[in-house]
Chain A
């Protein structure tokens, strides 16, 4: 399929798209809609991924978050008609029946997290930190800068950890139990705090924190940005409106598992979020 080349989407349009996709992904328990949002968001992310950005940390985060959420439900719910196994009742929290229904619902909980994380991933993997700042509503702009800037320190944190661990090892330190890590973690933490203070000082010296700010970037929107925003808002609004109208949006597989209901309008709403993925970045943008 030949995709239309498009200029980069405006940061604020990305913000709206992400918020809409998160709203859809978390406003329903239905795994069909959640799965659709996750797939659509993944496609959009892969289409617009900034060159040089790595997906592995995100994949790891998705695995851990979704896996943990699903497992907690499977082992802690203990309800449902279809018994799969039974853990000894005297085991705290996890003891009791494990059911097919709890596995299914655990899956949809994990899927919801995957959808939500993939929906916000473009804010970090497609946009630059300053794009995120530009996308923020005025009252949140300064908070956005503080957050974006603190993220700059993360890479230094990793480097400091390696350097300190190696240096302490050469001074005779060996990892022996949790307490021994104080010799590495304390200096790393102190260095991170010092770096943060230096950064705060540098920002203050450049006038950050004064009254009104202006932005270097143009905030003018293209027609394409408007279409992306309109489709995303329509998707989120559809879910909210149909829920308010009493249309079944959720899926609750207890006490007996059944297939999730599918409403064509809501499927279309999910697919409306795929619009940014139907183009390709012009000039590698």
Chain B
């Protein structure tokens, strides 16, 4: 497929001049004096959490400032329209935006109707609507999902449906705000492959994304967004965490936790069958395997949150810390520091909250309301609140989901610090880089059974041993 930009290449699709934007009630602007031009092709928006990437993308389709309010100065033109003043429904016909969370952005329950939703709002005739839905589904090679309910799709499939919904509008510009952050590697790659296909077909696309490896070769430009400023000359060096190799720390003690002949599952259904595993103090065990293979069930059973159906579970004395998926949901206190202090107080620990705040780079955010933070910052706050107090056993469920490179580094440092102090760590993850970097041992779960992955085969091979097919969530 050759590149045929949909718009006149002489004209930039996005032009922003001297634009500064502050959310309502915010002390500091989220975008500062931005001057920017974006042309056709693929534009990657990179930068740490809370830097302003999402705000920039929301500016493109008018959600900032029209939906969010706040104070704005400067000017912008997107696809020939002024996003500061043009009604959002009109902008929606030229600019499509796909959000991070695959679940909260769905309107209807079925694929076909979901794809047609924007067309209905644009009052497109029914005949044309059917043609455009067909075209969008075919464009993303997901015609086979047409009759499915969204709840039966994997995260990657759902995100491609959202992309199809945007493409059905035939927009001049497609913007995606970290579209793969909630997905497993297979789902993420399917979405990114679809994005590459859309760019090759000539559509302009702006993607804020942490998984850069597969997009960088196709990117026409990079925008580094940090502290509300945009650097259009950013080098491609802002990359994610690289696999630093297996750590192989010495296990300092005997067994810290153990399961023997464990059968377990939610509501009495058997997801795990006869699993016998053990881990030592100071040891990191990675659990890998496809969705539905029982990783979360094993963690929850180890945590004591669900009782075993048969077999035994042994935990070390002391506190067990458990990080659930979507950990940001547990935050409810007025400041990040108060969240960490609550855990320390409950654990009877004497350590200073500054230790965890420092480990996760939260010192400057310690007095902020956690729910006002960006998603990456909030994830770090939840990690600090969960892991404080030197727990004897640490259970992490997909801890890097939605994380940027800085947060992943903080997590790796925190896990090392915990293991040096004797904590046993079990981490369920699709993130093969994290497993390779941290894990002393890797266990593959499949069909309810556990198989230890040979150390010399490496964590990436372990993924092969337990192919992580896109399952339903």
Nearest residue (CB) in B for A216 is B116
Residues of B within 8 Å of A201, CB to CB, are 58, 63, 67, 99
* Contact in complex: B104, A186 (CB < 8 Å): no
Contact with B along A112-154 (1 / 0, CB 8 A): 0000000000000000111000000000000001001100110
Min distance, Cβ B76 to any Cβ of chain A, angstroms = 16
| Segment from B105-113, B183-191, B199-207 that makes contact with A | B105-113
B329 at the interface (CB under 8 A from A): yes
B412 at the interface (CB under 8 A from A): no
* Contact in complex: A166, B324 (CB < 8 Å): yes
* Contact in complex: A187, B331 (CB < 8 Å): yes
Known: A187-B329, A208-B89. A213 touches B386 (CB 8 A): no
Residues of A within 8 Å of B293, CB to CB, are none
* Contact in complex: B93, A167 (CB < 8 Å): no
* Contact in complex: A194, B371 (CB < 8 Å): yes
Min distance, Cβ A54 to any Cβ of chain B, angstroms = 13
Interface centre among A182, A194, A206, A209 (most CB of B within 10 A): A206
* Contact in complex: B120, A163 (CB < 8 Å): no
Contact among A152, A167, A210, A218 for B89, CB-based, below 8 A: A210
* Contact in complex: A198, B343 (CB < 8 Å): no
| Segment from B20-28, B122-130, B231-239, B459-467 that makes contact with A | B122-130
B322 at the interface (CB under 8 A from A): yes
Residues of B within 8 Å of A153, CB to CB, are 104
Contact with B along A210-247 (1 / 0, CB 8 A): 11111111100000000000000000000000000000
Interface centre among B87, B103, B322 (most CB of A within 10 A): B103
Interface centre among B112, B133, B327, B329 (most CB of A within 10 A): B329
Known: A166-B324, A171-B342, A172-B347. A203 touches B107 (CB 8 A): yes
Known: A211-B123, A218-B126. A166 touches B97 (CB 8 A): no
* Contact in complex: A214, B386 (CB < 8 Å): no
Residues of B within 8 Å of A216, CB to CB, are 112-113, 116, 119-120, 126, 129-130, 133
Q: In the complex, A24 Cα to B453 Cα: how many Å?
A: 66
Min distance, Cβ A189 to any Cβ of chain B, angstroms = 9
Interface centre among A183, A188, A201, A207 (most CB of B within 10 A): A207
Q: In the complex, A236 Cα to B425 Cα: how many Å?
A: 66
B379 at the interface (CB under 8 A from A): no
A263 at the interface (CB under 8 A from B): no
Residues of A within 8 Å of B169, CB to CB, are 206-207
Residues of A within 8 Å of B133, CB to CB, are 216
* Contact in complex: B332, A171 (CB < 8 Å): no
Contact among B63, B123, B326 for A213, CB-based, below 8 A: B123
A258 at the interface (CB under 8 A from B): no
Nearest residue (CB) in B for A145 is B107
Contact among B121, B124, B343 for A208, CB-based, below 8 A: B121
* Contact in complex: B327, A167 (CB < 8 Å): yes
A195 at the interface (CB under 8 A from B): yes
Min distance, Cβ A279 to any Cβ of chain B, angstroms = 22
Q: Which of the four size classes fits the interface of chain B? A: 35 or more
Number of A-B residue pairs with CB-CB distance less than 8 Å in the complex they form: 160
A275 at the interface (CB under 8 A from B): no
* Contact in complex: A130, B342 (CB < 8 Å): no
Residues of B within 8 Å of A86, CB to CB, are none
B346 at the interface (CB under 8 A from A): yes
Nearest residue (CB) in A for B124 is A214
Interface size on A, residues (CB 8 A): 51
Interface positions, chain A 158-210, Cβ under 8 Å from B, are 160, 163-164, 166-173, 182-183, 186-188, 190-191, 194-195, 198-210
A5 at the interface (CB under 8 A from B): no
Q: In the complex, A274 Cα to B63 Cα: how many Å?
A: 49
A255 at the interface (CB under 8 A from B): no
A156 at the interface (CB under 8 A from B): yes
Q: In the complex, A129 Cα to B61 Cα: how many Å?
A: 27
* Contact in complex: A166, B300 (CB < 8 Å): yes
Q: In the complex, A122 Cα to B385 Cα: how many Å?
A: 45
Q: In the complex, A173 Cα to B112 Cα: how many Å?
A: 44
Contact among A128, A130, A187, A194 for B332, CB-based, below 8 A: A187
* Contact in complex: A152, B109 (CB < 8 Å): yes
B320 at the interface (CB under 8 A from A): yes
Min distance, Cβ A229 to any Cβ of chain B, angstroms = 22
Residues of A within 8 Å of B103, CB to CB, are 156
Residues of B within 8 Å of A215, CB to CB, are 120, 126
Sampled A-B contacts (20; CB under 8 Å): A130-B113, A148-B108, A164-B329, A168-B330, A170-B320, A171-B343, A187-B332, A190-B332, A195-B104, A198-B104, A201-B99, A206-B166, A207-B122, A208-B89, A208-B117, A209-B121, A210-B90, A210-B121, A214-B124, A216-B113
What 3 pairs across the A-B complex have the smallest Cβ distances? A172-B346, A210-B89, A207-B121
| 17 new A-B contacts at CB < 8 Å, known A149-B107, A209-B89 | A128-B109, A130-B113, A156-B103, A167-B330, A169-B305, A170-B321, A172-B319, A190-B332, A195-B101, A201-B63, A206-B117, A206-B166, A208-B121, A212-B123, A214-B120, A216-B116, A216-B126
